[in-house]
Amino acid sequence: MTKAPIHFAAASDLAKAVGHWQGWLSGEKRASPHTIDGYGRDLAAFFTFLIGHLGGEADLAALMALSPADFRAFLAARQHDGLSRSSMARQMSTLRGFFQFLDHHDYGHNPAIGAVKAPRPPKSVPKALSADAALETLDQAALLQDEPWLAARDVALFTLLYGCGLRLGEALAMTGRDRPKADAMVITGKGRKQRLVPVLPLVRQAIDDYVGQCPFAIGADDPLFVGARGKGLNPGVVQRQMRKMRPLLGLPDSATPHALRHSFATHLLAGGGDLRTIQELLGHATLSTTQRYTKVDAERLTRAYRDAHPRARNP
């Protein structure tokens, strides 16, 4: 079903500037029609508000005269209309972009919007899978690929995410040199911070099985996880595999690769792991240099991990 065309309640000079902006979004920024339509509706909502707020259709001069209080009044009106904080933040982002365009293309300059803080969208709390669902995910991963080596790759990757609590980006950044060969490995995470992560034999075995079946040679500096053509694995492929698993296992939309990392932490905590140890395993502690590892009791981390992790108890 086609959407109704957007009506911009604005004076002719402003309407012309909007047309220029939409053409610029399409031609210069390569924005999709869907994106341009969304931006247009955000702008139309603002112009409609200005009719009541200013007593008539706005022109470019009126826009250049707006104060921070005017933008805050718009946010208050949108909140009164029941708009979510996420939607209000998006509309303010659209307005900032439009005013920047007007400034850069010599329509006029008004820095007032820069003084207005958009509502912060609520942070979504990642949802953990149940221990059974997490383990079923590892098993199901083997069934979604026709090529045995790709199935082994997916099993290895999902086992690594859940068994070691890695971020997807951390796992995909691993090279052949990073392939775990002992009971612990060093992972470089956000901000180049390093942490020591225990590795269960099951995780190591899954990765060894994958490497043994992979038709591409994985050198020390090559990506550990590769796609069908031997290049570094794209995160979108991993996310797509999780989407395929959801209906098969009856999992919610929150079942993402990152949910396996969250499940790792939640299940360790539920199994008696202490918060400080889990913080270290997730990379939220300040373990930023290799010298710092001399102060870390690797045996303690490994023991707490093996005692609490469901996959360690149920191989």
For residues 112 and 71, the answer to whether their CB atoms sit within 8 Å is yes
The residue type at 271: G
Of 244, 71, 264, 247, whose CA–CA distance to 165 is shortest? Answer: 264
The residue type at 208: D
Q: Which residue among the candidates 96, 127, 179, 293 is catalytic per the annotation?
A: 293
Asked about 7 being catalytic, the answer comes back as no
C-alpha–C-alpha distance, residues 71 and 137, integer Å: 47
C-alpha–C-alpha distance, residues 171 and 293, integer Å: 20
Q: What stretches of 72-225 adopt beta strand conformation (E)? A: 184-188, 194-198
DSSP single-letter state for residue 186: E
Q: Which residue among the candidates 85, 167, 244, 292 is catalytic per the annotation?
A: 167
Helix/strand/coil percentages in the chain, nearest 5: 60, 5, 35
What pairs with residue 186 in β-bridges? 196
DSSP single-letter state for residue 217: -
For residues 176 and 218, the answer to whether their CB atoms sit within 8 Å is yes
C-alpha–C-alpha distance, residues 250 and 259, integer Å: 15
Q: Which residue among the candidates 190, 231, 276, 303 is catalytic per the annotation?
A: 190
246: tokens are 């959801």
What pairs with residue 226 in β-bridges? 232
Q: Which residue among the candidates 153, 204, 261, 311 is catalytic per the annotation?
A: 261
Asked about 261 being catalytic, the answer comes back as yes
Asked about 153 being catalytic, the answer comes back as no
Asked about 293 being catalytic, the answer comes back as yes
Q: Which residue among the candidates 96, 284, 292, 306 is catalytic per the annotation?
A: 284
Q: Which residue among the candidates 127, 193, 258, 292 is catalytic per the annotation?
A: 258
What pairs with residue 175 in β-bridges? 223
Q: Which residues are catalytic?
A: 167, 190, 258, 261, 284, 293
